[in-house]
Amino acid sequence: MLNIFILVFFALTSNLPGFSKDISSTIYMGVENKIVLHLNGCASDDINLKINSGSLFKRDDSTYSFIPQVEMEDLKLKLYYKKVLVEVKTVSVKKIPDVTPYFVGEKMGKIKKSDISSLGKLTFNYPKDYPEEMKSVVYSFNVFITDLNGVAIYSGNMRGDSFDGQITTVISKLNKGGRIIINNIIVQNLRSGHQRINNSKELMVEE
């Protein structure tokens, strides 16, 4: 009861710190999740942030980080000002979802023969709130091309995230039903550098 009176007093006589509106309701396991506060003119020494599971790391006066190791639905972030609880935010902790590779310009795994020359780069579909430091660019990938009958007509490695002129020429000669199979995709990102992903990609040529 005393804390309620103190909180009302703070609210009437001064600004209170609070959570940034940009904080997501979902955070991810195994990566650093930033928790940003609005100090609203309050001294950082009077502000404390606690969680009901795990450990927080203070990066600066208004930024904390947290690397969760287990999934949970109701992780509570508790913000205190002068030892009085002023705000609680509940978030869920989830595993980082798998991402799906796709070519810019394709349509659900299909590409018209007339559009092959304008096929864009190989990239990924990311869900909302996916950690920015985990978003990757393609470093290299293997290409395996077959004709309508499944006969292999090309196999090789491509550096970068797009087809070069040689591969584009091979693909442009494919008839309807020809397939382009992409695997052994190597990506790079700010957090983990280079790594291989398990996902593969297949395109089928249409007229």
Tell me what pLDDT residue 2 has.
Answer: 45
The pairing of strands 152-159 and 179-189 is: unpaired
Domain ranges of the chain: 16-94, 100-206
| pTM of model > 0.75 | no
Tell me what pLDDT residue 85 has.
Answer: 94
DSSP 10-78: HHHHS---EE-TT--SEEETTS-EEEEEE-TT--GGGEEEEESSS-EEEEETTEEEE---S-EEEEEEE
Tell me what pLDDT residue 10 has.
Answer: 52
Q: Options 3.30.1360.120, 2.120.10.30, 3.90.1150.10, 2.60.40.10; which CATH number does 16-94 get?
A: 2.60.40.10
Domains 16-94 and 100-206 share a fold: yes
**Residue 60: partners with Cβ closer than 8 Å, 6 or more residues away:** none
What CATH number was assigned to the domain covering residues 100-206? Answer: 2.60.40
Tell me what pLDDT residue 124 has.
Answer: 92
Intervals of the chain under pLDDT 70: 1-14, 191-192
